[in-house]
A and B are shown apart, each in its own frame.
Chain A
Amino acid sequence: MRYIKNLLAVVLIFAFAPGLLFPQYQELSTERSVKFKPGIGFEYLNRTLDWGEDNTSKLNSYLFTLNAEIEIQDRISLSAIAGYSLSNFDKLLFRQLPFSIELDTGNIGGYLFGSELNFKIYNFNDFEIRARGQFVYYIATKKEWDIPGLSVSGNVTGKPNWWRIIAGPQITYTGFDYFYPYIFISYTDLKGTYSMEQSIEDLSGKEDKKIVSLGNICAAIGTRYELTDYLNIKAEMLLIPNDNSLDYSFILGTIFSF
């Protein structure tokens, strides 16, 4: 019973923390509710990967997610993310294997896990500033391919993973009734490893290729639209410049509110 009380106390602290951190909002906190907001989302991700030897290639991913968000007092929300992703690493080269290989294998399916934290920092006139951070981790299922053209049979087995963080302030215009456009300037990073094993009769090798995304500053525009009291739609376009190109990502999502 004592533990339950302590747990409740900690939950209450988290609920009131933003108010305590930013006392100017204490007067406004008239509504004290906890909302559960499940959602579904889709994201297309295009990032330039640097993997050494002055070589780059692209990561193209489709992310399908289910989100479970808990919003407390319209001030702080925490989401758990789970889903599935198809990630394409074509043109990635593995030179540390006995036979060097280049990928042209298309999408590899994998699971996604992550979380997102979002809390209100400041309000002025019709603008709202929130802090937003997200972490997503992708891990693929192992996939095997035959190596063509050899005098004996052989195969390679690939298993990629990557993680991405994105965090920064979001400024939302709240002057419209149902339409909430925003800009989101953030720091982002994407790193991962593509493990490739080669097996050709008694010849074998393994290479763990480290991949790092180019570009760490991200600018995004997006909007949330309240279709009904219980259903919101979200769209967002992110641009991530780097020395070689302009990477981008776009997100579509629906959020239910209970």
Chain B
Amino acid sequence: MKSKKLLLYICVIFSIVLSTGYTQTRLHKKLRPHYKTHPHHQIIRQLNRGLPLHKKSQKYAEDQILVKFKPSVKSQSIETTLAVYNSKLLKKILVGNIFVVQIPAGTTVKEMVYIMSQNADVEYVGPNFIAHITVTPNDTFFDYQYALYNSGQDIGVPGSPQGKNRADIKATAAWEETKGAEEVIIAIIDTGVDLEHPDLVNKIISSGRDFVNDDFDATDDNSHGTFVAGIAAAETNNNEGVSGVAWNCKILPIKCIDDEGSGFYSWIIDGIYWAVDNNASVINLSIGGPETDPGLEDALKYAFDNNVVVVAAAGNEAEPVLYPAAYTEYCIAVAASDYDDNQVSWSNYGPEIDVAAPGERIVGCVPSWFWGAGSIPYAFGSGTSYSSPHVAGFAALIKSSKDWLTAAEIMNIICYSADDVNSAEYPGKDDYIGYGRINMEKALVPIIITN
């Protein structure tokens, strides 16, 4: 019994000695890889690890302030003053007589601004704010695209109506968060797309599919599909033409409507299945008819079940919502708003309406042949047909930044982030603009949560 106890004591002592040594070994093992693999030791680094550039949330330098002393204060006394505050002069901006000052560790910018503002020699003191890039594309006609950014500008030729400031879909703010991913494809089921249009040629992934003529050349012989495609994803920041909502996303043209602007439901059903099977993430349907059809509904369900977001125009007759937009379970029905954030009188209405997007006096692409030689291939147009691709581009941007989301979730995000711009008259979801005019910033830029 005594020997057993002695053995127990020896074991316990031995384990204490071992554990001391083991702890030291673990510390060495943990420390070394940290320094070896630290990114600063790599020669070439990807900006933001290859991810889209995000807007940094920092508003100002946390260890610096800007101080402007009164002109009567001599430079020697400035140095003395800074020393009294235990602050360090980092730089003098000569022309403005402004000093960049490092504040002492342990103090906040807010505290130092308050403390130094009490000094009679100081004319001005404030944080060293950080400016961020703002995304304003250089496309020729961007200023006319009030839908993307509305500063209250003339929305067309001089003398045309002026829009209401910020009656827009907040595209520029959203682009700071994401401009879309090339892998995200928007299928334009329409009259086809001008495959050679200068603002679209680099965005189209293939010549698509033509269900009207049953071939693989979805060239536009009407103009409607080209206009729609340009709104959703025209080449942007290329010093030419218009900006697309989804800068980097691609276009898959599918022709299901003939040159007269009509198409059989069978062509559209075929087009939807083909789009889903050819990797489309979003389908835009700026088309519609008054009749319901189970085959059409099944095709929409097929897209929905395969996580493809379907966006459809409500129609322009001031009547009930057309199909397929009215299949509200499987697609987003889009009404038209205007440059003042009002619902447009001709926009169809009903409980199926999910959201609204600008559709009045929209500038967009038309085929190169449309106006004839010597004219620029752009035009103004109105209709829910042009509201819908704003939403399709928006859906593509959400898919680009969060590819794990389901179609239903993306549809909900689009609805819940909308601005209820007619809340004074119809608070909440209504039959005219649904949840409201879409707001891309709210859906894509992080929302600040406060107490």
Question: What is A's interface to B at a CB cutoff of 8 Å?
Answer: 6, 9-10, 13, 17, 20-21, 53-54, 91, 93-96, 98-106, 131, 145, 147-152, 154, 156, 167, 187, 189, 200-203, 216, 243, 245-246, 248
Contact = CB atoms under 8 A, between A and B. Distances in A.
A93 B446 CA distance: 7
A102 B54 contact: no
Contacts of A102: 57, 446-449
B339 interface: no
Given A104-B449, A145-B450, A216-B34, 6 more contacts: A91-B58, A102-B449, A149-B447, A152-B416, A187-B27, A200-B412
Nearest to B417: A150
Residue in B49, B409, B436, B447 with the greatest tally of chain A CB atoms within 10 Å? B447
Contacts of A100: 444-447
A177 to B, nearest CB: 31
A74 B449 CA distance: 50
Using C-beta atoms within 8 Å of the partner chain, give the interface range for chain B: 35 or more
B413 A203 contact: yes
Interface in B29-84: 30-31, 34, 38, 40, 48-49, 51, 54, 57-58, 63
Instruction: Identify which of B48, B58, B446 gathers the most chain A CB atoms within 10 Å of its CB.
Output: B446
A246 B63 CA distance: 11
Nearest to A150: B416
Nearest to B46: A54
Contacts of A147: 447, 449
B54 A98 contact: no
B105 A246 contact: yes
Interface of B: 5, 8-9, 12-13, 16-17, 20, 23, 27, 30-31, 34, 38, 40, 48-49, 51, 54, 57-58, 63, 105-106, 401-402, 405, 409, 412-413, 415-420, 428-429, 435-436, 442-451
B405 A151 contact: no
A105 B450 contact: yes
A132 to B, nearest CB: 12
B38 A53 contact: no
A98 B436 contact: no
Given A17-B16, A53-B49, A151-B417, A98 B412 contact: yes
A203 B449 contact: no
A13 B9 contact: yes
Between A104, A147, A150, the greatest number of chain B beta carbons within 10 A of the residue's beta carbon is seen for: A150
A203 B16 contact: no
B443 A99 contact: yes
A246 B62 CA distance: 12
A245 B49 CA distance: 22
Contacts, number: 116
Contacts of B34: 216
Nearest to A18: B16
A151 B449 contact: no
6 contacts: A53-B48, A54-B49, A95-B446, A101-B447, A145-B449, A187-B27
**Most B CB within 10 A of own CB, among A20, A96, A100, A243:** A100
Contacts of A149: 442, 447
B415 to A, nearest CB: 7
A13 B7 CA distance: 12
A103 B447 CA distance: 8
B69 to A, nearest CB: 28
Contacts of B106: 248
Nearest to A186: B27
Contacts of B401: 95
B244 to A, nearest CB: 23
B447 A99 contact: yes
Contacts of B412: 98, 200-203
Contacts of B442: 99, 149-150
A173 B44 CA distance: 48
Contacts of A152: 416, 435
A85 B402 CA distance: 34
Nearest to A13: B12
A98 B13 contact: no
A151 B418 contact: yes
Nearest to B105: A246
Given A151-B435, A203-B409, A9 B418 contact: no
A151 B420 contact: yes
Nearest to B415: A151
B57 A105 contact: no
A245 B105 CA distance: 10
A99 B449 contact: no
Contacts of A201: 412, 416
Contacts of B419: 151
Which of B17, B106, B412: most chain A CB closer than 10 A? B412
A98 B415 CA distance: 12
Contact of B405 (A53, A98, A202, A243): A98
B417 A101 contact: no
Nearest to A250: B106
Nearest to A187: B27
Given A53-B51, A243-B38, A21 B451 contact: no
B8 A151 contact: no
A151 B409 CA distance: 15
List the 5 shortest-distance A-B pairs measured between CB atoms, nearest first: A100-B446, A102-B446, A203-B412, A151-B435, A104-B450
A207 B82 CA distance: 45
Contacts of B40: 243
A170 to B, nearest CB: 15
Nearest to B58: A91
A212 B294 CA distance: 54
Contacts of B451: 105-106, 145
B448 A104 contact: yes
A94 B445 CA distance: 11
A96 B436 CA distance: 25
B17 A101 contact: no
Among B8, B23, B450, residue most surrounded by chain A Cβ atoms (within 10 Å): B450
A124 to B, nearest CB: 20
